[in-house]
Amino acid sequence: MLTDVDSSSNRYQLFQRNIRVLMIVLTIVPLSMMALINYHQYQSSLREEIINPETLLANKTKHSFELFMKERQALIKSISSFYSFKDLSDKKTLNHILLTLKKEFSGFVDLGLISGADGTQLCYAGPYNLLGKNYAEQSWFQEVMLKGTYISDVFMGYRKFPHIAIAVQRYEQNGQSWIVRTTIDTTLFDSLIAAMGLDAESDAFILNKDGIFQTNSRLYGEVLEHCPLKIPMGGHATYVDERKGPDGRDIFLTYTHFTYPEYTLVIIKPKSTVLKTWYALKSDLFFVFLASSILIVIVVFRLTGIMVNRIKEADHNREMAFRELQHHHKLSSIGRLAAGVAHEINNPLAIINEKAGLIKDLIGYTPDFAQKEKFSTLVGAILQSVSRCRTITHRLLGFAKRMEVEVETLDLNELIEEVLGFMEKEALYRNIDIVLELAKDLPRIDSDRGQLQQVFLNILNNAMAALEDEGRILIATWEKDADTIAV
């Protein structure tokens, strides 16, 4: 029996575990897939939101730089066009032009007129003594003579501060050529970089085609130093790259190449700063997912526990109902057996009763019978025993007939006395005193006689089983209220 209980308990535990695993899988897996899909979709969208502003910022700054360079170059072209060689050869005129440029435009340092024939500086306006200096062997002179214009990289030179040179060539109708050359302070470059509004952890700078800083870098070096970052050359689009910086940090590197001069604008932003919002959201998503998963597990465990307990209870009730049905069938069989036994006993009892009556009549019609009184007593005892047996068999028949549910109006006192008829011999044998205190004029009730007999029979059996010999059982009935009769 203990093995059956353990097996049943293990069966419910296994069923509960399987249901929990199945429900958790069916809820957690879709939730995980949805979270993963949302994670990647949001990450892709966020990257686009990051790339687009970075690209726009780089393009705007590039446009500002190119506009600055083209504007300065156009000014020098205008000067070479509007003024003759003779005018520019006059130091006063050249000084006046330089003062006007400084007044109207920022960044101009000096202005000079250079011979296209031998590269000698013919006239100079500025803070340095460069009159008569020869540039014929310098690469920029060869380039301006070939292309007509020239914009240099940032360099120090005589001036000892970062600057660029812009040179424009002009041909006269007589075949004479000459060059107007100016130098411009690159402080404005830093102003354009500062106008980008970068935070303290970000950086932006200009590189030439050889990877040399044209502006100061907040993170990687000073002007004219070599940049430790490798920037791919070629292409005129704006590119955003993810990589590790020289210091090992993950960075977003945005770069774009100028059309002319061959500069590259580079913007550096730490990945942690750019994705700060994403990291915060990712943490929130993780906590939401974790909290949801924990809540799902708790709910699953709670619901499966309730469900399995109800299934267990339903199985128990079904088993009890089945046992009750078996017991009912058993009682029905017993009732039918009792009815058969009663019928079989009644037939001999009828014969015995008839013969005993005949004997009694014969003794009564024989006045000179010697032992008339003795035999009359014996026959009377036989008739009394037959009457007692008939009463018992009638009770068995009545009990058997009432096995099926049949509601009728009953006298509760009479029913109790009828049940006691089954128990009186056992009570007499065990010397148990059964005391009846039955209320008179007790209202009749509507119920099934057989079931009530079974109830009272079980109660009396239990009472007698609990008592030792020479005990006492008190049975009382009374009307508790208008709707209740108590026993």
User: Residue 226: which pLDDT band, with cuts at 50, 70 and 90?
Assistant: very high
CATH number at residue 88: 3.30.450.20
Task: Show which of 404, 431, 458 is a domain's final residue.
Answer: 404
User: Residue 347: which pLDDT band, with cuts at 50, 70 and 90?
Assistant: confident
User: Residue 1: which pLDDT band, with cuts at 50, 70 and 90?
Assistant: very low
Q: How far apart are the first and last CA of the chain?
A: 37
What are the residues facing 207 on neighbouring strands?
213, 264
Q: Does residue 47 sit in the same domain as residue 98? A: yes
Instruction: Quickly count: other Cβ atoms within 10 Å of residue 229's Cβ.
Output: 21
Residue 3 placed within a domain = no
Residue 15 placed within a domain = no
Q: Does residue 349 sit in the same domain as residue 371? A: yes
Average pLDDT, the chain: 84
pLDDT at 404 exceeding the cut of 60: no
pLDDT digits (tens, 9 = 90+) for 198-209: 888 899 999 999
Residue 486 placed within a domain = yes
Q: Does residue 55 sit in the same domain as residue 99? A: yes
Least confident residue range of 131-135, 178-182, 243-247, 348-352: 348-352
Q: Does residue 238 sit in the same domain as residue 364? A: no
Range of the domain at 127: 20-274
* 56 contacts: CB under 8 Å, gap ≥ 6: none
Q: Does residue 340 sit in the same domain as residue 365? A: yes
Q: Does residue 161 sit in the same domain as residue 264? A: yes
Given a contact cutoff of 8 angstroms between Cβ atoms, the answer to whether 412 and 449 are in contact is no
Question: In total, how many domains does the chain have?
Answer: 3
pLDDT at 5 exceeding the cut of 70: no
pLDDT higher for 143 or 326? 143
- Residues of the chain with pLDDT > 70: what percent? 91
Residue 300 placed within a domain = no
Q: Please report the pLDDT score of residue 2 as a whole number.
A: 45
Q: Does residue 427 sit in the same domain as residue 395? A: no
Compute the average pLDDT of residues 252-280. Answer: 84
Q: Does residue 51 sit in the same domain as residue 99? A: yes
CATH number at residue 316: 1.10.287
Task: Show which of 274, 293, 321 is a domain's final residue.
Answer: 274
CA angle centred on 144, ends 143 and 146, rounded to 5°: 65
* 55 contacts: CB under 8 Å, gap ≥ 6: 238, 240, 254
What are the residues facing 117 on neighbouring strands?
none
Q: Does residue 63 sit in the same domain as residue 210? A: yes
Q: Please report the pLDDT score of residue 255 as a whole number.
A: 94
Q: Which amino acid is at 271?
A: K
pLDDT higher for 150 or 442? 150
